[in-house]
Amino acid sequence: MIRNIAVTFLILSISALTVPGQTKSKKGEPEKKQAQTPTADNETLIYNAAMKYGDYDAARFALYSLLVKHPENISYLDSLVRIYFMTGNWAQCILTGNEYMTKDTGNIAVLELVAISNSNLSRNKDALDLYEKIYRKTGNLYHGYQVAVHRYILQRYGECAQMIDAIVNDTASAKELININADEGQNQQVPIRASALNLRGVMLKEINMPEKARENFEAALKLAPDFILAKNNLEQMKKEKETKEPDKTIPEKKTR
């Protein structure tokens, strides 16, 4: 249900080594060459080369060396967070991200990468805390949707309903799209309002309000007729109803 977002990584770009040109003496004669002082650490050059060729282990090692040399430069820590996320090392992404956030709480990209990593490890309370912080900063509908999803997972249904109401009542939610994981690994783009309505339907069904749930699934399909999850939820409700109702085509045995 949670969107697989395509994250564009703005990995730290560090300038390459520059070599100043030859100078002349006052008499116009070239001066003797002197040893050049590099403008970048060797680790910086290793990092840039490693990122160029996709060697993330070497890039990570170079970043650790740079952190030891320049502990005050949190941009190296930022890059570590992103590399750990790119390589699916969720626990390390969380650890480095949490340390980064003790120094800078305004980096939305880092907050979101750590939130996703927590969610991937089913640390839903930590993920929710971060998404709520992000939503307060951005007011973004997608972040609001993630707040609603994690409140639902944690069975905080009242708060979940409040967030869904805010999304559905926002006119932009009818046009803004979200990527949804559908059946068998399929991805589908639907309006975020349709996804919120489907989530509300799932929640209402869970708290034994089937008619209200059906209304929300149908409303989601009205917005997105090909919405696989909403279709499947309606179909499941239909099957459940049929199994509960007695088959009226088979006559009952009469008792004497």
Note the pLDDT of residue 116: 98
Of the candidates 140, 138, 149, the one whose C-alpha atom is nearest the C-alpha of residue 116 is: 149
Domains delineated in the chain: 42-124 (1.25.40.10), 157-244 (1.25.40)
Note the pLDDT of residue 6: 38
DSSP letter at 155? Answer: T
List average pLDDT for each run of 10 residues in the chain, which is 256 residues long.
Answer: 40 32 43 45 92 95 95 96 97 98 96 98 98 97 98 98 98 96 85 98 96 97 96 92 66 52
Query: What is the sign, positive or negative, of the torsion defined by CA atoms of 208, 212, 218, 224?
Result: negative
pTM: predicted TM-score of the whole model, two decimal places: 0.79
Of the candidates 191, 182, 238, 247, the one whose C-alpha atom is nearest the C-alpha of residue 213 is: 238
DSSP letter at 180? Answer: E
Note the pLDDT of residue 244: 73
CA pair distance 193, 214, nearest whole angstrom = 16
Note the pLDDT of residue 250: 53
Contact 81, 100 (CB under 8 A): yes
